Amino acid sequence: MARHQVLLICLHPLLSEGLHRILDQQEDVELVSLESTDSESLQACTEKTHPDIILIAGEREDDAATHLISNLLNCWTDTPVVWIELETNVIRTYTSHTLPATSRELIETIRQVSTVSAGDLRLSPHSSRR
């Protein structure tokens, strides 16, 4: 069974405990936690960690959270970032994947977004990336 390295960043301590408990039970998940989100901690983490996915959990997505997500996408350009929001009980996925500006890619993106909007989320990487 392939293991998935998950980088967990919790902005709320109680949420951190619950997510650790859930993710630690998964045999195919290798959990790595980042306790601080300052630039030095992020830089150190990028040098030694290559996660398959980054989970960020917090109460609400505010300017600080948006800035953090942007920084994470810049540090790990090929890694999806998933925001787990307590206040609205939603999960949002962010990615920095880019595609060539062709009509075929545009139509495929529209179809995939429509599929995601209908509730069928698939996180498969595209062949073309930044």
Total number of domains in the chain: 2
* Radius of gyration for the chain, computed over Cα atoms and rounded to the nearest angstrom: 16
Q: Mark whether 67 and 116 lie in a shared domain.
A: no
Q: Mark whether 75 and 106 lie in a shared domain.
A: no
Distance of alpha carbon 8 from alpha carbon 21, whole angstroms: 12
Q: Mark whether 27 and 9 lie in a shared domain.
A: yes
**Beta-ladder partners of 15:** none
Please give the pLDDT value at position 130: 39
The residue ranges of the chain whose pLDDT is under 50 are 124-130
Q: Mark whether 92 and 103 lie in a shared domain.
A: no
Please give the pLDDT value at position 119: 55
Please give the pLDDT value at position 117: 53
Read off the tokens for 81: 């970032």
Q: Mark whether 37 and 87 lie in a shared domain.
A: yes
Instruction: Report how far Cα 4 is from the mean position of its chain's Cα atoms.
Output: 13
For 60-72, write each residue's pLDDT tens digit.
778 888 899 998 9
Residue 89 is part of which domain span?
4-96
Q: Mark whether 90 and 102 lie in a shared domain.
A: no
Please give the pLDDT value at position 7: 94
